[in-house]
Amino acid sequence: MNQGDHQLATILDYFEQINAIPRCSKDEARLGQWLHDWAAERQLERRRDAAGNLVVKVPASPGMADRPTVIIQGHMDMVCEKTPDSMHDFSRDPIRSKRDGDWLMADRTTLGADNGIALAYALALAEDPTIQRPPLELLFTVDEETGLNGVKEMPADLISGKMLINLDSEDEGVFTIGCAGGMETLCSMPLNKEPFPAGWELHQVLVGGLRGGHSGIDIDKQRGNANKILARTLMHLHREMKLKIVTMAGGTRHNAIARDAMTVVACPPGEGIRVRERVARLEAILKGEYAGLDDGLCIKATTSDLDTEVVWSEETSLRVLNLLLALPHGVAGMSKTIEGLVESSSNLATMAVEQEVLRILMSQRSASSAKLVALSETVHAIAGLANCQFVDENKYPPWQPDMNAPLLQTAQAVYAGLFGKEPVLEVIHAGLECAIIGERCPGMQMISFGPDIENPHSPTERMRISSVGKVWCFLVALLEAIGR
C-alpha cells in the first residue's frame, strides 16, 4: 500500500468510526464526547461551549509555528432518512456503509457523508506525522441541519484563527466562496370548527410522487411543491361541490421542497365518486404542467376511516386555502452579477395541525440582507391579510464573497498547480455555517470545499471514494502553502 492509499484508508476508517455513533440533529452528545475523549487521549487542548460545539487545538509541525492558525470546520449532526422498508433505528444503530465501485453508500439510509467526512479529514490531519501543517483549530459544531443552530450559539472566543476551511461542500474541484442568508416565518392560524354533518362521508386526498429537493439548491428547477398543489386541488374541489376540511399536513423540513401532502375532507353521501373524478381530472392537468419537471406527480382520492366529530368551518377553510395559494413559493429574483444564480427565493416548507392550530412554515433566502427582509415582509403582509399570526425565527446572514482574500488566492494557486486546471468558484443559494462564523468573527477569511457527495439528505446519498483522496491531497498541500 502506497502512502496515498494508506492516508485514504485512514480517513475512511475514521469515517466508519464516526458512523458507528448515532448522531441525528440534536442527538450529537455521544459523538461530541467521543471526539472530546479522542482529543484527551492525545493530550490535545480542547474546549466545549454550552451548546456542545467543540474546538480541538493541534500544534503546528516543526518549523511551522509562526504560520497563521487555520480552522478546519465541519458539523457533527446528520440528516436521518431511510427507506420505508428499512428497520434502521437512528437512535442506536450504526450506519452500515457499503462500496459500489468508486462509491460509498449506506444500506437504505442516509450515509452521513454530510458532514461526517469533514470530521474524518480533521482527525486524520491531526494524527498524520508526515504533514507540514500550521497550527490548527478543529471546530466541530452541532445541530447544523435544522437551521445552523449550533454555530449560532458559539461564542466568538471559542476560536482564535482568522482563516477557516469549511469541509461541507459536495463537488470536488468547486470552491464555495459565498452563500445566501435565510429566515423562516412560522404562520399560525386558529381553526374554528363545527359539528360533523350527519351522514357525510370522509375521503383522503394525497399528493405525492414529487422529486422535492433542497429548498435552496433546487428551487430554480421548478419542481412541484406538494403543499401548493394540495391547496390548488382543494380549491378546485371547493368551487365545484360541497366540501369541508377535517385536517391537512405536508412537507417534512424547513430546507426541503415538500414532496408529499395530505388532507381529509368531508362531503355529502354518495359524492365520493365526484371527488375522485375531479381529483383525477386535475391530476391530468397538473401532470401536463409538470411534464419533464416532476413526471411522478400523483394525486389520489380514497375513502378515509378517520374518527372525527368536527370539521373546519367554511370561513376557516377558505382563509386557509387562500393563504396557502397566496404565500410565495419559488424564485423571487435572479442575481444581477452572477449568471444563473438565484438571488432570492421562498419555500412553503411544511404545514401541520397542532392543538387546534394550523402551523405553516415558510423559508425565505436571499444573497441580499435587504431583499431577505423585503421578501419576509411580503410573507408577513399575506399572513396579516389572512388574519394569521406570524413570527420570524432562525435568521442567518448572507456570506459575501471576498475575491481578494489571501486564503482564496492561495487555494486557487495550489489547486491549479496540483491538478493543472483552475477550480470553479461558486456562490450558493443555501446556508452555510461560514455566514454566521464570518458575522461573529469579523475579518475571517473563509472557503468551503469537499469531495463528491450525491443526493445528501436522502437514502440514496453516496460519496465518491476517489474524490475523497483528491480532496485530501489538496487539503494537505494547501495547509503547507498557507503563510509560506
* pLDDT tens-digit readout, 341-373: 999 999 999 999 999 999 999 999 999 999 999
Please state, in angstroms and rounded to a whole number, the distance separating the CA atoms of residues 342 and 339.
Answer: 9
- 25-31: long-range contacts at Cβ-Cβ below 8 A with a sequence spacing of 24 or more? 25/77, 25/78, 25/79, 25/80, 25/143, 25/144, 25/145, 25/146, 26/77, 26/142, 26/143, 26/146, 27/77, 27/91, 28/52, 28/76, 28/77, 28/142, 28/143, 31/76
Asked if 261 contacts 251 with a C-beta cutoff of 8 angstroms, the reply is yes
Q: Which three cell numbers stand for residue 203?
A: 375521503
DSSP secondary structure letter of residue 171: S
Please state, in angstroms and rounded to a whole number, the distance separating the CA atoms of residues 54 and 39.
Answer: 10
- pLDDT band at residue 195 using 50, 70 and 90 as cut-offs: very high
At 339 the pLDDT is: 87
Residues near 33 by beta carbon (within 8 Å), at least 6 away in sequence: none
- Active site annotation includes 144: yes
* pLDDT tens-digit readout, 279-309: 999 999 999 999 999 999 999 999 999 999 9
Q: Which three cell numbers stand for residue 127?
A: 494524527
* Residue tagged active-site, from 28, 81, 114, 144: 144
At 413 the pLDDT is: 98
- Active site annotation includes 77: yes
Asked if 80 contacts 146 with a C-beta cutoff of 8 angstroms, the reply is no
* Residue tagged active-site, from 27, 77, 294, 452: 77
One-character DSSP codes across 89-108: -TTTPPP-EEEETTEEEESS
Q: Which parts of 290-400 fold into alpha helices (H)?
A: 314-326, 369-385
**Domains in the chain and their CATH numbers?**
3-180+398-481 (3.40.630.10), 183-396 (3.30.70.360)
% of the chain residues with pLDDT over 90: 90
* pLDDT tens-digit readout, 412-433: 999 999 999 999 999 999 889 9
Average pLDDT of the residues of the chain? 95
Is residue 469 over pLDDT 90? Answer: yes
| Amino acid code (one letter) for 334 | M
Q: What stretch of H or E contains 117?
A: helix 113-127
Report the SS3 class of residue 383.
helix
Report whether the peptide linkage leading into residue 115 is cis, meaning its omega lies within 30 degrees of zero: yes
Could you tell me the CA-to-CA distances from 99 to 12, 86, 94, 156, 329 in Å, in that order?
12, 18, 16, 40, 38
Is residue 45 over pLDDT 80? Answer: yes
